[in-house]
Chain A
Amino acid sequence: MDRVPILRLGDCLLVTVQVDMHDELAMTLQDDLTNKIVATKARGVLIDISALEMVDSFIGRMLGNIAAMSRILDAQTVVVGMQPAVAITLVELGLSLPGIRTALNVDAGLALLRKVLDRSGEGSYVD
């Protein structure tokens, strides 16, 4: 069965979605990522969707679920690389991805994660 690879990058996990995901694959990614956060004690998750040509309500819900589950497992999620046409379509569809941090690309996403993780390391409540 197909799987989306999850790479470890220090205390973060990097997911690059390269294929047009069918729904079962998206569900598998959600499960795999949750397990991997626990197994690696990752503090951050970076999801690169620059190769995705569309995000519909199902994929949008999956991204929201990943962000929510990560947060419960004490990890922060940043979604990066959304194509402009995808962003325009998402908003018109009525989906604004509440609760999901975004950044323009992987570099900016890693920098944002670093900032968020450094802050949460101070022992104060964040989010």
Chain B
Amino acid sequence: MSIEPTTLPVRSGEDVVRVRQAVRTLAMDLGFSLVDQTKVITAASELARNTLTYGGGGEVRIERLNDGPKRAGVRLTFEDRGPGISNIDLALTDGFTTGNGLGLGLNGARKLSHEFDIWSQPGVGTRVTITRWK
């Protein structure tokens, strides 16, 4: 990935794979350890699936952060114009799901990230931003 930030669509299962690959390429390029790469890829996968399954599709913005020589990071912003989340606290509870998953995705992505921000409005959409530093 030479030009950043990049915005990728999240509209199919194949798109979710492409998001994982793009995040992996960036994390490798930034010199993330294998464990850190795996964590940010896994978080990206959870959020991309949420965007697809619950948000009805959307997009992700992938950013390279360079905050000083020792502080490189990956920031991902997933955005959809789906039904939104009426109770964010509940949606962040492990085991809670309105779909047929395990209900670990949203909170799992939060646990795997250093920074986590969620904005959602019923009927408007959802935006989730995560950052993982090197």
Contacts and interface: CB of A to CB of B under 8 A. Distances in A.
B42 A54 contact: yes
B56 interface: no
A89 B104 contact: no
Contacts of A23: 13, 16, 49
A57 to B, nearest CB: 4
A18 B97 CA distance: 30
The residue in A21, A54, A56 that gathers the most chain B C-beta atoms within 10 A of its C-beta is A56
> Which bucket holds chain B's interface residue count?
20 to 34
A118 interface: no
Contacts of A22: 12-14, 16-17
B110 to A, nearest CB: 10
Interface residues of A: mostly helix, strand, loop or mixed?
helix
B34 interface: yes
Interface stretch (A32-40, A90-98, A119-127): A90-98
B5 to A, nearest CB: 22
B105 interface: yes
A54 B38 contact: yes
B49 A89 contact: no
B13 A24 contact: yes
Nearest to A22: B13
A20 interface: yes
A29 B108 CA distance: 25
Interface in B1-43: 12-14, 16-17, 20-21, 24, 34-35, 37-39, 41-42
Nearest to B100: A61
Contacts of A54: 20, 38, 41-42, 45
A53 B16 contact: no
Contacts of B20: 20, 54
Nearest to B102: A57
Given A53-B41, A54-B45, A85-B37, A93 B108 contact: yes
Interface string A9-30: 0000000000011111100000
6 contacts: A20-B21, A23-B16, A53-B38, A85-B34, A86-B38, A89-B42
